[in-house]
Amino acid sequence: MQERDFYQKVYEIVRMIPKGKVCTYGHIAQVLGMKISARMVGWALNSIAFQQTDIPAHRVVNRKGELTGKKYFPSPTYMRDLLVSEGVTFVDDRVDLSKHLWLPERDIIFED
């Protein structure tokens, strides 16, 4: 899979994450058949940092529910503020994954 195609598929999945839910980098990588490439999902999202897009990158967190991507937003609290405005709750500094984790469909099919 070429990098550009991979990035576009990441964006398609991130667009599917409903308001009030989050997904992890690892779950996105897994549904794309690249379970060990969670870091590449982060790179895809970092490539659109500070751009106006329809991609809700704030809804992607690490496997512990931590906001590791927050440095790619306009302020250190921006990502959390967006999530809270959508009804996402936190336990300490982590998203409560027991309430808000969205798992992408295992059978997402991407047409070439």
Specify the DSSP class assigned to residue 59: G
Where would I find the beta strands (DSSP E) of the chain?
23-24, 60-61, 90-91, 94-95
Where along the chain do its domains lie? 3-100
> What pTM does this model have?
0.89
Q: Which two tokens mark 79?
A: 């990502």
Looking at every residue in the chain, the average pLDDT score rounds to 90
Architecture category of domain 3-100 in CATH: Orthogonal Bundle (1.10)
**Whole-number Cα distances in Å, 87 to 21, 58, 101, 104:** 8, 13, 13, 20
Q: Which two tokens mark 24?
A: 């992890």
Q: What is the pLDDT of residues 45-64, one digit of tens each?
A: 999 998 889 999 999 999 99
Residue 109 — pLDDT band, cuts 50, 70, 90? low
State the average pLDDT over residues 71-83.
Answer: 95
Residue 87 — pLDDT band, cuts 50, 70, 90? very high
Q: Give the rounded percent of residues in the chain with a pLDDT score beyond 70.
A: 91
Q: What is the pLDDT of residues 13-26, one digit of tens each?
A: 999 999 999 999 99
